[in-house]
Amino acid sequence: MHAAVLRYFEAVARAGSIRKAADQLNVAASAVNRQILKLEGEVGTTLFDRLPSGLRLTVAGELVRRHIGTTLYEFGRLCAELDQLRGVRSGVVRIVSLDSLFLHLLPQLIENFHRANPAVRYIVEAADPHLVATRVATGDADVGIGFDLETHGEVEFTAAIASPLCAMVAPDHPLAGRACTNFVECARHPLLFQPDTRPTRSVMDAELATAKSSSEALLVANNLGLLKHMVKAGLGVAFYTRIGFVDELRNGSVVAVPLVETRLTQIRVGLIIPRRRPPTPAAAAMIDHLTEALRALAPELRHP
């Protein structure tokens, strides 16, 4: 199969649409459709179900996607290793991470890595905590940064550092002066949540149920910037680890009050890497870079 066909198929499988895939590839939709039909003709079976809402992989399509993913990955690895022989580190590093890390850790980390490796390119995606391991397991990312609350047989958790959940409040909030707090006390104030942030949200809901609290959220938003503004304005309590509020904690605009609930104080954040798929040279170097960055940040994430 021709390399263009592989890229087109992969793009359509990801986007679930010929048009969206064509936009991403910057080619005509007719060209993408022609290649998909040609591929289906060559393998002798339908690879996509054509639905009103878009395209969905058939069982055969899933098998082809798995093969194509492996093929493209190995080809990229070969190119990177050939560049390595010439003394150049190249290739694409694909990172999937908690949304909170896009505000502090990742920008500086990628900037520093790029200065040392100008030929490397990046694909960085924010994902809900419960999806980070899955994205790495399916080959959509070379490395993930996430919590250790969920496991997956195809990945391993490494470079783990303690990152307990805290109640994030403004400096003048009634809870700000407490040495620690619990969900019963927090639920007496307006609460701020991100929607469906499993598995941490499921743990929080379980703790609230145990405490027999039925507190109603003041705000549910999928944008951390908005939630941070609400916290700093003193309008509510949000539950996060310190890793998402490093800058605010350093400048004193937010106070992290430790929670006493055991399950929440044992949370760790770390790297999620494939168990059986060896990293490319660039991905291996990025994993080392991420490991160093997490270790350097570890002291700020612990309860004082």
CATH of the domain at 132: 3.40.190.10
What per-residue confidence (pLDDT) applies to 195? Answer: 72
Residues 155 and 190 in one domain: no
pTM summary value: 0.69
Residue at 207 is within a domain: yes
Residue at 127 is within a domain: yes
Residues 202 and 231 in one domain: yes
Side chain identity, residue 198: R
Residues 261 and 277 in one domain: no
DSSP 1: -
Q: How confident is the model at residue 1 (pLDDT cuts 50, 70, 90)?
A: very low
What per-residue confidence (pLDDT) applies to 169? Answer: 96
CA 186, CA 165: separation in Å to the nearest integer?
13
> Do residues 218 and 192 make contact, with C-beta atoms less than 8 angstroms apart?
yes
What is the CATH classification number for the domain harbouring 54? 1.10.10.10
For residue 9, pLDDT beyond 90: no
Q: How confident is the model at residue 22 (pLDDT cuts 50, 70, 90)?
A: confident
Nearest Cα to 123, choosing from 76, 160, 157, 155?
Answer: 76
Residue at 53 is within a domain: yes
Range ranked top by mean pLDDT from 25-29, 239-243, 273-277, 287-291? 287-291
Residues 193 and 256 in one domain: yes
For residue 62, pLDDT beyond 90: no
Q: How confident is the model at residue 273 (pLDDT cuts 50, 70, 90)?
A: very high
Side chain identity, residue 131: L
Last residue of a domain, one of 11, 31, 64: 64
Give the Cα-Cα-Cα angle 265, 151, 241 (nearest 5 degrees): 30
> Do residues 231 and 170 make contact, with C-beta atoms less than 8 angstroms apart?
yes
Residues 155 and 285 in one domain: yes
Give the Cα-Cα-Cα angle 127, 133, 136 (nearest 5 degrees): 90
CA 167, CA 189: separation in Å to the nearest integer?
11
Quick one: angle between helices 59-85 and 3-15, nearest 10? 120
Name the residue range of residue 47's domain.
3-64
Q: What is the mean pLDDT of the chain?
A: 84
CA 8, CA 18: separation in Å to the nearest integer?
9
> Do residues 129 and 149 make contact, with C-beta atoms less than 8 angstroms apart?
yes
Q: How confident is the model at residue 168 (pLDDT cuts 50, 70, 90)?
A: very high
For residue 21, pLDDT beyond 50: yes
Residues 156 and 179 in one domain: no
CA 6, CA 47: separation in Å to the nearest integer?
13
Residues 210 and 250 in one domain: yes
Residue 196 backbone class (left: φ over 0; alpha: ψ -120 to 50; beta: rest): left
Residues 20 and 47 in one domain: yes
* Structural domain count, the chain: 3
Residues 137 and 205 in one domain: no
What per-residue confidence (pLDDT) applies to 231? Answer: 95
Nearest Cα to 94, choosing from 65, 66, 151, 135?
Answer: 135
Residue ranges of the alpha helices (H) in 18-171?
A: 18-25, 29-43, 59-85, 105-116, 132-137
For residue 157, pLDDT beyond 90: yes
Residues 295 and 153 in one domain: yes
For residue 121, pLDDT beyond 90: no
Over the stretch 191-250, which tens digit does the pLDDT of each residue have?
888 776 555 566 666 666 665 555 567 778 878 889 999 999 999 999 888 888 988 999
Q: Residues for the chain: how many in total? A: 304
Residue 226 backbone class (left: φ over 0; alpha: ψ -120 to 50; beta: rest): alpha
> 101, exposed or middle or buried, with CB in 10 Å at 0-12, 13-18, 19+?
buried
211: its two tokens = 């405490």
> What's the Cα-to-Cα distance from 23 to each of 18, 130, 174, rounded to whole Å?
9, 29, 51
Residue at 73 is within a domain: no
Residue at 150 is within a domain: yes
Residue at 116 is within a domain: yes
CA 108, CA 103: separation in Å to the nearest integer?
9
| Higher pLDDT pick, 91 / 159 | 159
Residues 203 and 129 in one domain: no
* Local structure of 37: helix, strand or coil: helix
Nearest Cα to 89, choosing from 291, 283, 258?
Answer: 283
Q: What is the mean pLDDT of residues 41-56?
A: 88
Residues 238 and 212 in one domain: yes
Residue at 40 is within a domain: yes
Residue at 75 is within a domain: no
